[in-house]
Chains A and B, each alone.
Chain A
Amino acid sequence: LAKTTQPISMDSYEGQEVNITCSHNNIATNDYITWYQQFPSQGPRFIIQGYKTKVTNEVASLFIPADRKSSTLSLPRVSLSDTAVYYCLVGDSGAGSYQLTFGKGTKLSVIP
């Protein structure tokens, strides 16, 4: 499983765009990049997944450069309710392993 590195914490004011970058230098050809969000005392919640270039859904965008050694989760116009821990996961379930390996994530604090 590819190791990921992301900032431990970030602060942002309400209404701003937040970009959280994750490094995954040893990402494999078959690996997808997946981001989860976790609120206190709740289970992780799937946000977005991508393989290359850009993916956008109703919640976030995911930017992946051509070398795929990093990815950036972009949250537009954050609100107080976006305060949570965000996890970047990289893995290939095609290799036979379906377990998700969570790191410590990035704790985002949105300030009014």
Chain B
Amino acid sequence: DAGVIQSPRHEVTEMGQEVTLRCKPISGHNSLFWYRQTMMRGLELLIYFNNNVPIDDSGMPEDRFSAKMPNASFSTLKIQPSEPRDSAVYFCASSFPAGGGAYNEQFFGPGTRLTVL
């Protein structure tokens, strides 16, 4: 199994540009999570999907951020327009339900390091 796949691994862009981060979850996993990690705030959940439906987007910082999951094998996180304070490492993770309302561990992708100049 290839694990969670994220692309690109590194992205450098200029303020005001649109940025799109991509994630392919592990096959068979039906929950997908987008996280942001910064030195100041650590790891934070941005949004998560279950069966392609957004369940909790309370961590999405503002309208400049949007996320989609058009099918079970693909998700995008878009920032438009990007700002220097968006510079961070963005992780995608996936998991599958354990049944009976319980949940399993989350498997993390390698992350995308975003730098906005």
- Asked if A and B bind, the verdict is no
Binding site for B on A (CB under 8 A): none
